[in-house]
Amino acid sequence: MAEKEASQVATDAGYTVVARRYRPKSFSELVGQENVSQALATAIRTGRIGHAYLFTGARGVGKTSTARIFAKALNAGTGPTADPDLDSDIARAIDAGEDMDVLEIDGASNRGIEEIRQLRANVNVRPSRSRFKIYIIDEVHMLTTQAFNALLKTLEEPPEHVKFIFCTTDPEKIPITVLSRCQRFDFPPVKKDAIQDRLRYICQQEGFQADDEALALIARRAAGSMRDSQSLLEQILSFSEGKITVESVQELLGTADDSSLWEMVERFIAHDAVSVLQAVEASVGQGVEPGQFAEQLLGYLRDLMTRSVGAPADLLRHVHSITPEQLSDQASRWGMQSLIAAMQILDESLVRMRHSMHGRTLLEMTLVQIAQLHRLEDLFSLSSSVPAVAANPDATPPVAPKPAPQATSPIEQKKNVEAVVTPATSTAVSAGAGAVAAASPPIAAVEVDVKPVTAATAQSSSMSSSLGSSSVPNSNHESHVESSRPTATSPAPVADGAGNAGVPGGRQTPAPAGVAVAEAPAHVAVAVAAPVATSSPPAVLAVDSKNAKEVWGATVDRLQGLLADFATLSVDAMWVDNEHLSVCFEKRSQHAIEHLQRTDRKSIVERELQNVLGRPTRVQFQTVPDRTVSPSEARPANDPNSLMQRNQRMRQVAEHPMVKALVDTLGGELVRIDPPSAPRSHLDRKG
């Protein structure tokens, strides 16, 4: 049938394109859709014919052609048959789209509810000469929601003489109520070998000679679409004179040959960025389109990857003129890591090139970046040296020192003061008369809100220093750690605070008792270099029954957020067998033990305890009977800082439905509970 039509092309009044002239007209002519054609033919032979079908798949894979073939099989004169007479009047009319009983509707231009209402009105009209009235709706996903709703009842229970065949490239846009009423057939992309064989057949019918490599290039460019491959073939038939060669295909499609891609990878291996740019200049001068070159190169790298992992040659998809042995040798010389990195870079650049007006510039930038991939090894070596620096206290970090900024006016003194702490020792940063101690091995920058430091807090800080570590007070004492930010700053001298110099030697001098201390700035940011080990490990303290409470108090001072809030509810601490620390809570504080007992939180407590003692130590939590508080010790019932009020506030906030929903939605946990700030007066709001 196809040969007969091809011979009549010259005598026809108008020219018919290749894609229409060689359109399949029977199930046996369908290419690449054998499963679909077999299922439909079997349904016809067994009499299991549904009333609605949905054909889905990419463009040009044969959905509409299959719908026409199925319509011819249903309306054949000898009854529904899988092998209808293709020369009958009904078959010819269906192929030409002129049959009165097979209505092809474009869903994109007939997508409204009025068109569907008209279709419903015509459904009850019986076919004129055929057995069935068949509606073929192409691109059915373009129908509006109202149109789909109007079609539902008719689609579920149509008259016996009506069949629906829907075709779409986007089934996800079709309502599930419609999908459930149809038999769905998914059309896969046509394989490259099947497309190549069909193109060879068409070339023979058209009287052209074609190189197999040229047809393979067209088939790869079609990307699984039979119609696209035939449209490309028609362009090349018009461009060529009797013979189709690889050079003519590459010149017309703007593609590069395999040897050019092989040479480009050789330039990558040699790290020759200059020759890479020269190769791009030569390729573009020969008519190669930058985006197409990038896609070809990505396909070439894909085949290199398959050979790099030892895959057989039959898995190659994009390279034909280069032997598998050459690909294996090139892949081994370049390396798997460089190959994978180049593919990732190239894929990201392809996405950008599709939306950019500077495709060539992006291509050149990408190829130069790939040629410089060996420099990533230096970066990897530098990053791998960080643990070595941390292990060697005498090593100097390879980072240039950065001076710490200082406030130059009273206004700036009230703002954040940033100080760079020397990481070799535990150094105190002086801000006003109050001092904030830096923790042992600094690894990040922290922001600390500092309140006025009194003699009592200075004395408490001095006690922490005597235990072998410096501490940053938490929100339950004099300051609150807000957040942490990583920094790459190297060691530098301690910056002065608001008029007071830092204490030399890295030791903190406590304020004498009874001496008035000036207020510190409201916000101090301490930036430290990371990660560098201290010059000497903390001293190991002797454990006795007298310092258990002091050790636990210093550990609590190092905790942060909600963890510190619960830890401060303890009432006693003692050593058990001189091996681990037992912390006691009243029964009314059982929720604090449940919070601290979780593995990740307990590990944080034991880590801070190790920093205080200088050696690993286990901690356990136990309950003791609730003690009675004397009237002189008891705080007012409405005191927000009382133990009972704080516990009650914590439980209320943690059990609030909105807080629970937020924690479950975000997958997080409570870290800190801050009391609400006092509302401003209407005079303040007006001001």
The predicted pLDDT at position 562 comes to: 77
Q: Counting runs of H as helices and runs of E as strands, what totals does the chain give?
A: 28, 16
Q: How many CA atoms, within 13 angstroms, populate the side-chain half-sphere of residue 390?
A: 12
Last residue of a domain, one of 134, 168, 187: 187
The string of DSSP codes covering 366-387 is HHHHHHTTTHHHHHHHHHHHHH
Q: How many CB atoms lie within 10 A of CB 393?
A: 14
Which residue's structure tokens are 């506030």? 649
Q: Which domain holds residue 421?
A: 410-528
Confidence band, pLDDT 50/70/90 cuts, at residue 45: very high
458-489: pLDDT as tens digits: 444 444 444 444 333 343 433 333 333 444 33
Is pLDDT above 90 for 345?
A: yes
497-543: pLDDT as tens digits: 333 433 334 444 444 444 343 444 444 333 333 444 444 444 455 66
Beta carbons of 362 and 349 less than 8 angstroms apart: yes
Same domain, 126 and 172: yes
Q: Is residue 489 part of a domain?
A: yes
Beta carbons of 571 and 585 less than 8 angstroms apart: yes
Q: Is residue 64 part of a domain?
A: yes
| Mean pLDDT on 546-559 | 85
Order of strands, edge to edge, in the sheet holding 445-450?
A: 417-421, 524-528, 445-450, 479-485
Same domain, 518 and 417: yes
Specify the 3-state DSSP secondary structure of 74: helix
Q: Which residue has the higher pLDDT, 401 or 232?
A: 232
Specify the 3-state DSSP secondary structure of 501: coil
Q: Is residue 657 part of a domain?
A: no
The predicted pLDDT at position 331 comes to: 92
The predicted pLDDT at position 231 comes to: 92
Same domain, 174 and 213: no
Tokens of 486: 């990583």
Residue positions counted in the chain: 687
Task: Specify the number of domains making up the chain.
Answer: 5
Last residue of a domain, one of 209, 235, 252: 252
Three-state secondary structure string covering 425-460: CCCEEEECCEEEECCCCCCCEEEEEECCCCHHHHHH
The predicted pLDDT at position 566 comes to: 83
Q: Which of 307-311, 351-355, 594-598 has the lowest mean pLDDT?
A: 594-598
CATH code of the domain covering residue 612: 3.30.300.180
Q: Is residue 35 part of a domain?
A: yes
Tokens of 572: 């006693």
Q: How many CB atoms lie within 10 A of CB 406?
A: 14
Same domain, 112 and 160: yes
| Separation of alpha carbons 549 and 567, rounded Å | 12
> ∠172-174-175 over CA atoms, to 5°?
110
Q: Which residue has the higher pLDDT, 221 or 654?
A: 221
Same domain, 66 and 181: yes
Q: Is residue 11 part of a domain?
A: no
Tokens of 15: 């020219």
The predicted pLDDT at position 459 comes to: 41
Secondary structure of the chain: what % helix, strand, coil (to 5)?
45, 10, 40
Q: Where does 14-62 have alpha helices with state H? A: 18-21, 34-46
Sign of CA dihedral 2, 96, 17, 289: negative
The predicted pLDDT at position 676 comes to: 60
The predicted pLDDT at position 534 comes to: 40
Sequence-separated (6 or more) residues with CB below 8 Å from residue 625: 586, 587
The predicted pLDDT at position 402 comes to: 44
Please, what is the average pLDDT of the chain? 74
pTM value surpassing 0.85? no
Same domain, 280 and 214: no
| Separation of alpha carbons 604 and 566, rounded Å | 13
293-333: pLDDT as tens digits: 999 999 999 999 999 999 888 888 888 788 899 999 999 99
Sequence-separated (6 or more) residues with CB below 8 Å from residue 164: 51, 52, 53, 134, 135, 137, 155, 158, 182
CATH code of the domain covering residue 280: 1.20.272.10
Longest dimension (CA), the chain: 116
Tokens of 644: 């009972």
**Residue 234: alpha-carbon gap to chain centroid:** 41
The predicted pLDDT at position 256 comes to: 84
Same domain, 144 and 54: yes
Q: Which residue has the higher pLDDT, 129 or 643?
A: 129
The predicted pLDDT at position 243 comes to: 86
Is pLDDT above 80 for 289?
A: yes
Q: How many CB atoms lie within 10 A of CB 74?
A: 22
Specify the 3-state DSSP secondary structure of 267: helix
DSSP letter (8 states) at residue 313: G
Same domain, 240 and 294: no
| Separation of alpha carbons 565 and 556, rounded Å | 9
% of the chain beyond a pLDDT of 90: 31
Beta carbons of 495 and 429 less than 8 angstroms apart: yes
Same domain, 279 and 364: yes
Last residue of a domain, one of 162, 187, 212: 187
Same domain, 290 and 233: no
The predicted pLDDT at position 627 comes to: 74
Measured in degrees and rounded to the nearest 5, phi and psi for residue 53 equal -130, 145
The predicted pLDDT at position 443 comes to: 35
> ∠511-515-516 over CA atoms, to 5°?
105
The predicted pLDDT at position 179 comes to: 93
| CA distances to 178, 469, 580 from 543, in Å | 76, 16, 10
The predicted pLDDT at position 613 comes to: 82
% of the chain beyond a pLDDT of 70: 67
Confidence band, pLDDT 50/70/90 cuts, at residue 453: very low
The predicted pLDDT at position 377 comes to: 55
Same domain, 363 and 263: yes
Tokens of 216: 């393979």
Beta carbons of 225 and 59 less than 8 angstroms apart: yes
Tokens of 25: 């007209």
55-85: pLDDT as tens digits: 999 999 999 999 999 999 999 988 899 999 9
The predicted pLDDT at position 630 comes to: 57
Is pLDDT above 70 for 431?
A: no
Q: Which of 169-183, 342-356, 507-521, 583-597 has the lowest mean pLDDT?
A: 507-521
Q: Is residue 366 part of a domain?
A: yes
Beta bridge partners of 186: 56
The predicted pLDDT at position 348 comes to: 92
| Mean pLDDT on 435-453 | 37
Beta carbons of 364 and 277 less than 8 angstroms apart: yes
Q: Which residue has the higher pLDDT, 591 or 453?
A: 591
Is pLDDT above 50 for 418?
A: no
Of 153, 167, 92, nearest to 120 by C-alpha is: 153
The predicted pLDDT at position 448 comes to: 37
Beta carbons of 426 and 454 less than 8 angstroms apart: no
Q: Is residue 683 part of a domain?
A: no
Q: Is residue 135 part of a domain?
A: yes
Q: Which residue has the higher pLDDT, 529 or 201?
A: 201
Tokens of 309: 């992992």
| CA distances to 399, 420, 429, 529 from 492, in Å | 11, 6, 12, 9
135-176: pLDDT as tens digits: 999 999 999 999 999 999 899 889 999 999 999 999 999 999
| Mean pLDDT on 271-285 | 92
Same domain, 70 and 180: yes
Is pLDDT above 90 for 24?
A: yes
Beta bridge partners of 621: 583
| Separation of alpha carbons 324 and 596, rounded Å | 61
Is pLDDT above 60 for 401?
A: no
